[in-house]
Chain A
Amino acid sequence: MGRIQLKQVQKKFGEVEVIPPLDLEIVDGEFVVFVGPSGCGKSTLLRLIAGLEDTTNGNIEIDGEDATDLPPAKRGLAMVFQSYALYPHMSVRKNIAFPMKMAKLDQATQDAKIEAAAKALNLTDYLDRRPGQLSGGQRQRVAIGRAIVREPAAFLFDEPLSNLDAALRVGMRLEIMELHKKLATTMIYVTHDQVEAMTMADKIVVLQAGVIEQVGSPLELYHSPRNVFVAGFIGSPKMNLISGEEAKKHDAETIGIRPEHLTVSTTEGAWKGRVGVAEHLGSDTFIHVHDTGLMDMMTVRISGDIQVQHGDTIYLTPDNDQIHRFDAEGLRKS
């Protein structure tokens, strides 16, 4: 079981309130991603759940029991750190065994669990090496192995992939997702990378300045962002946000249109602009358009390839069904 409830949880460092009182419920077995720009309080929130930081106010309940004042080890949670935080003086085997040694499990059980974890994570050949002799991806697997053997109520991941190179990151992302499918244990995952959030999460929690901006499935967030911040944060390339006259036409303060919901023509269309940079990905082309008179730089995404030159005149037409409308407070208008 791994149901976690935050009730009016607040955190202050001295006089600075990093997390204003917030409520959040995480259902058993869910893969929840906390995402937001750096300094938004997502890691602090994770550390509050872990027990590595004390809450200033409010309650944290794990499986219905108040865990607010429990030390980290008593909460039944396991954590994987960004820096892996392996014990450098111990072999991989001893690293994985450490939580079991602390729990005073008998040797036979320990060995069996180490074997199983090592097999699941492809670490069998490396059990007698030290962390210093492993690659980044292997170290991360050891950290995950150390978490698995505890059979925790929930796994906490604090930006676990940001120290890995791009190719390895995609591979580890899949491994973590497969692990989640296999174990069906609650996982809470912190990242600043919205692509990771979109691809991995059952439920995304978007944070800004310690405030939860929106909670929902990746597609909910994509299709109906609750406010301008979420609209701009989720989706890549970013949503085009237009205010002023054009927005007034749609009876809104700000309108948003995603790059993939614009069509391009060289002869006619709703908005006229000039081609800046075109990024060719092969499967898609991102065109950055200037001088539309609507916003600084508009981004369009078209599938396939298109031949446009820097400085060409280009016409853009939005798909009217896909226009997001926001009011003066930045909140979504139905």
Chain B
Amino acid sequence: MARAVSTRTKVTNTAIAGTLGFMMFFPILWILVLSFKTEEDAIRAPLEVLFSSDWSLDSFAAVQARSDYFKHFMNSVIIAGGSTLAGLIIAVPAAWAMAFVPAKRTKDVLMWMLSTKMLPPVGVLIPIYLLFRDTGLLDTRIGLVGVLMMINLPIIIWMLYTYFKEIPGEILEAARMDGASLREEIIYVLTPMAIPGIASTLLLNVILAWNEAFWTLNLTAAKAAPLTAFIASYSSPEGLFYAKLSAASIMAIAPILIMGWFSQKQLVRGLTFGAVK
């Protein structure tokens, strides 16, 4: 029997959930509103902002005029895409090995990899900064691809590992009996079966890398600066320009929001880390 839920409980729960959801979404909504205002209107009282000021595209025009959006966008694409692809190339064989030929310490290795995510990034900022300076990687896209790949690698491996674990071993054994070599087994059987998992891993990591601000801000200046740096450049000592900052933020997050919207289903599956079969 389905659990009985009274109408009042439903209404209360819906109201609480709706309020919480709105509170979480509000900052983004407000940024969207402000981005269509002029600087003068943007600092007025909220209700005036909404109801007694004009809408305009001036801020977007100003942002585009002052900084090269397309260059930052391309940097973001290359850094997020590159680090995710490089991560997958390393993670697929690693996760395969741990899922299908586990050793005594496999679980420990997995835990150790995850534990690196518990270290505050700032703890290794100085050494990495110095390494980058001495190897000429500062403000290069290749340097950022490397750093972000390593930052996200534990998550990529964990996600793929849980997906691979769901694939029944007997199917791979059947492939072996049927004469498939290890390469054929991976190409014809394992990968097609793991494609949903690989896809959601890829999506999630593109988003994580796209939004990563700590390393991208600290290790770039001008040449390799991605969209995070593009936004940050509008919160400057010259004063706060709410409208332009909002316009820049909207331009920076729009691509990833749109991508996320279209791949919701995959993402939800990815975020639950294979917990729901």
List the interface of chain A (C-beta within 8 A of B).
50, 52, 71-73, 77-79, 81-83, 85-89, 98-99, 102-103, 146, 150
Contact = CB atoms under 8 A, between A and B. Distances in A.
Contact of B170 (A71, A78, A83): A83
Given A99-B179, A102-B178, A52 B171 contact: no
Given A72-B177, A86-B174, 20 more contacts: A71-B176, A72-B173, A73-B177, A73-B179, A73-B180, A79-B173, A81-B170, A81-B174, A82-B170, A83-B168, A85-B174, A87-B174, A87-B189, A88-B193, A98-B175, A98-B188, A102-B180, A102-B184, A103-B179, A146-B174
Nearest to A77: B177
A185 to B, nearest CB: 15
A89 B193 contact: yes
A40 B175 CA distance: 26
A87 B177 contact: no
A150 B178 contact: yes
A89 B179 contact: no
A52 B180 contact: no
Nearest to B192: A89
A98 B173 contact: no
B173 A52 contact: yes
A182 B184 CA distance: 33
24 contacts: A50-B177, A52-B173, A52-B177, A72-B173, A72-B176, A73-B176, A73-B179, A77-B177, A79-B174, A81-B173, A81-B174, A85-B168, A85-B171, A85-B174, A86-B174, A87-B171, A87-B174, A87-B188, A88-B193, A89-B192, A102-B180, A103-B179, A146-B174, A150-B178
Contacts of B184: 102
A99 B170 CA distance: 15
A98 B176 contact: no
B185 to A, nearest CB: 10
B30 to A, nearest CB: 46
Interface string B72-89: 000000000000000000
Given A85-B173, A89-B193, A102-B184, A146 B178 contact: yes
Nearest to B169: A85
